[in-house]
Structure 1
Amino acid sequence: MHLLYHHLDLEPFEAPGGNGWKPGGSGIPLGVLADVQVYAANADPRFQGKGHSPFCSHTRERGIVASDDLLTVADLVSGKDFDWCSKCSGYAIRRLTDAQLAHYRAAHRLHDIAQQLDPSRGGYDPDRPNRLAEQLRALENWNPGGEDRYSEDSRRWRRMVRELLARGHSANLDNS
């Protein structure tokens, strides 16, 4: 089994809003990432303390054992408060397929555009909405994980792109 030692940046998939420490995500659908397997020792801090990757020195780098917790990426985004080790990030994931990696990268591009069109960030650039609109049109027909074009995730993806296009168009009109 091939595992990644690095954690995923799941901010694009988290709910918008955030708190004082984190700005919040964009609520992008997980799509094919939802069922990616996540391995952790001590995932539930109520019972066992901090969660660790099976390769963390705190677990004596013992690898995966039967008592490890098997989670999914959907579990990580669920909003549950995990208490992960700061050294190892708390978990290891199964290596992503090409489709999963493509979706992860596309979601990060979409999240980055959403952040750039956020009026609270300031720093107006008159050319930004035009450049971003071009990138958004390229992402508009992205089909998360090759799913049915009419699936809830696909419809949500296209709706988000249309909303960002409208926001960029509005910003361009408001500042011209």
Structure 2
Amino acid sequence: MEEPVPGDVQIFLSSKENCLSMRSVGADYMSKLVKIAGITIAASRVKAKATHVTLICKNCRSVRTVPCRPGLGGAIVPRSCDHVPQPGEEPCPLDPWIAVPDKSKYVDLQTLKLQENPEDVPTGELPRNMLLSVDRHLVQTIVPGTRLTVVGIYSVYQASTTYD
């Protein structure tokens, strides 16, 4: 009998907890599950996000696969190749890796901008918003104007200087 092959799994969570206000979410909630309600005000186009990047060394041609961080994070590429040079062979230089897109693994990714509900905004204040990262089966299921209650992990990321 054949062993089942494990695959990627996407888990959908639900919670009976009360929603947190966007104004109350701070450092205490970092890397924790939070439940927040709001209105989607923007949805990005669908992008391919790598889950595993395959790298090849320019010098010795050794292959290595590194996992990518979840959400909007990228891969941590090692600085050096672990190939042991044979006598007379030149050692691999620093940062020898070239990404091989065809051999890497990807999922669909979309970002949503969630704004706090109008009834939660104090008088005279501007509404706050958060960026949500959704992938796989959640992509292209939400349009701007949709009221959402989301359960997810609150985290920060380093924004790139490029815009799309």
TM-score (norm 1): 0.24
Structure with the higher fraction of residues in helix conformation: 1
Normalising by structure 2, report the TM-score.
Answer: 0.25
In proportion to residue count, which structure has more strand?
2
Higher relative contact order (CA 8 A, sep 6+): 2
Rg (Cα) greater in structure: 2
